[in-house]
Amino acid sequence: MWKSILCSCLFLLLLFVGSAQATIALNNLLAEAQPDECFAGVGVDYPNGIAGFSPISGPPCPEGSQDRTNQTYVWGLTRIGDSVWFGTGANVVCTTLGAFVGATDPGASSSYVCEYGDSQLAREGRISAQRGDWRPPRIFEYDLTTRTLYDRTPNDPMLRRSMGIRSAGSHNGVVFMAGGSRSGPVIMFAFDANTKEYLGSSTFTEGSTIRKWLVSNDNLYTGIGTQGQSGRILRWTGNRDNPFSFVVVGTVNGVPRELAHYIDGNSQTRIAVSGQGVWISPAMNAQGVLPASTASWRRIWIPQQYEPDFITSTTYGGGGIFQFDGWLYWGTVQVPGRGAYQHTQCSIPQYCFGEPQNAEEESILNNGTSRATSIWRARNLEGIPEVQLLYGEAELPAYNPDTRTFDMTPNVGGYTPLYGSSGFGNRGNYYTWTMQVTNAGLFAGTLDISGADLWRFASSSAAAVREDGSGLGDSKNYGIRTMAASADGNALYCGMATYGSLGTGAGWELRELTFAP
């Protein structure tokens, strides 16, 4: 019961629009998704075929159907030279709810649809109900000089195995696009950035997920989550002729998500990683690289140092992470409903609420486990870290098995938020999805169902300022999923995430921002 109520609440929240406080000098829409399928109703076969499987799946749509735009996320993005390369994810709001809260109940509005088990793919037995709205991803290049979008999607059957291009990186003339697969392993695709030639694909059977890439000291690094919910950090040792050559330079006891370049107090270069915690690498050697190693990196922060409810603490994900003004900043990711769902899935009475028996218990569970993103920073990571909570809560609800309630409890570490409450003061900001430094400061992009926020720290001595709260002009853009800075640091390229798959303005957007002095 609670899952259907949760999904209904999410659907209603999609109707509300955030407000903006704009100091953005330029907000330029560079490119946007195009309709790729015809939708004739939940559970009805697609008149022109399935996107990614039929070459004529898109418009013009026959009478009784409408345009559907499946590609909704700029999921992985990288800038190389005068081009921005990116890969997409299809109907990710549907597949995320399916994966994280077990959603399978179809729902539709004028602006989006999740068919789940009623989709044609699921009804034909080609995919599970939770993944029924999945479609193969697309890969694009946007030329910043000619202001032209190019579809670089290769004719490779591995794309039909990919869950989406969640990861993108580039270095020395090679562009990587990567993501998890429908069967589990990570799949990588490589391109020549200069000639645009497709260099092929490779499957990494030891990996299950991949997110951020990072160039540090002229070397390219990435992190992959393994099947056992741990992680490996990889350094690229390949080239154009041998693109899929990597060496392991460290391990973490969790799934690595975002990576950041970090200069410690001794002026030594390290790499920081966010996930279910924050890890820091050893210092790079005299050659400026992390050598081959399977040693574990040191974890300097975990959610259990903050969150007093044990089950909810296990649902924290790693968000954007970046060094700025001497501090390492990071944010958390809180999938809506995930804490409540986990409380119903475990069977340890002293920790778990269990399945709610009525509407009142449903409300107690949802309210007690709902969390907005928290924002943190730390320094002195080479020694005893100084960790500060910037936006969060001094007290949080924790489950009391004696009363079956969630009681307000001091956070575990005794932290007092320096600047404000969770979500930058907005309870609708569930994710700090990405961070990026430009000449204007440190930017943080969020997920807010009523329209993504963009926040900016001008310095480490001041609170963040909200630059936008309207999804950068489209309230259906509930997330700023990816960001990259221009070569001169004066522009910010934002890959947007939307729930919109029907009607006007559906699908992903790529935006360029510049800011007033």
**In 144-226, where do the E strands start and end?**
148-151, 167-171, 174-179, 186-192, 198-204, 207-216, 219-226
State which H helix or E strand residue 334 sits in: none
Q: β-strands 492-498, 509-515: how paired?
A: antiparallel
Residue 322 resides in a domain: yes
> What's the pLDDT at 27?
97
- How does 337-366 read in b/e, with b if 16+ C-beta sit within 10 Å? bbbbbbbbeeeeeeebbbebeeeebbebbb
Tracing tokens 């696009």 back to the chain, one arrives at 177
Q: Of 19-33, 206-220, 321-335, 471-485, where does mean pLDDT reach its minimum?
A: 19-33
Mean per-residue pLDDT over the chain, rounded: 95
| Bond before 385 cis per omega within 30 degrees | no
Percent of the chain with pLDDT over 90: 94
pLDDT for residue 457: 97
DSSP 163: S
Angle of the 338-345 helix axis to the 2-13 helix axis, nearest 10: 180
Q: What is the pTM of this model?
A: 0.94
- Total count of domains within the chain: 1
93's enclosing H/E stretch is helix 92-101
Provide the residue range defining the domain that includes 424. 1-25+302-517
Of 464, 431, 488, 455, which Cα lies nearest the Cα of 73?
431
CA distance 302 to 387: 11
Tell me if 505 is assigned to some domain.
yes
How far, in Å, are 221, 269, 299, 444 from residue 263 at the CA level? Answer: 16, 5, 17, 20
Residue 467 is assigned to a structural domain of this protein: yes
Q: Which helix (H) or strand (E) segment is 391 a member of?
A: strand 386-391
On whether residue 12 sits in a domain, the answer given is: yes
Is the pLDDT at 13 greater than 70, yes or no?
no
Nearest-angstrom CA–CA distance, 480 and 490: 18
18, 475 contact by CB (below 8 A): yes
One-character DSSP codes across 288-317: SSPPS--PBPEEEE-GGGT--SHHHHTT-E
Q: Is residue 42 part of a domain?
A: no
pLDDT at 8 over 60: no
DSSP string, 100-133: HH-----EE-SS-EE-GGGSHHHHTTSS-GGGTT
Q: If you search the block for the tokens 């259906």, which residue do you land on?
A: 476
Whether residue 487 lies inside any domain: the answer is: yes
List the one residue out of 293, 309, 308, 196 whose CA is nearest residue 248. Answer: 293
Count of H helices and E strands in the chain?
A: 6, 34
Rounded alpha-carbon distances, angstroms, from residue 367 to 82, 97, 333, 336, 353: 47, 18, 17, 11, 12
**What is the model's pLDDT at position 515?**
87
pLDDT digits (tens, 9 = 90+) for 123-154: 999 999 999 999 999 999 999 999 999 999 99
202 found inside a domain? no
User: Is residue 502 one of the residues assigned to a domain?
Assistant: yes
**Tokens at 505, concatenated:** 């303005």
Taking the C-alpha atoms of residue 351 and residue 486, their distance in angstroms, rounded to an integer, is 47
Q: Which band of pLDDT confidence, cut at 50, 70 and 90, is reported for residue 429? A: very high
Average pLDDT value for residue range 277-288: 98
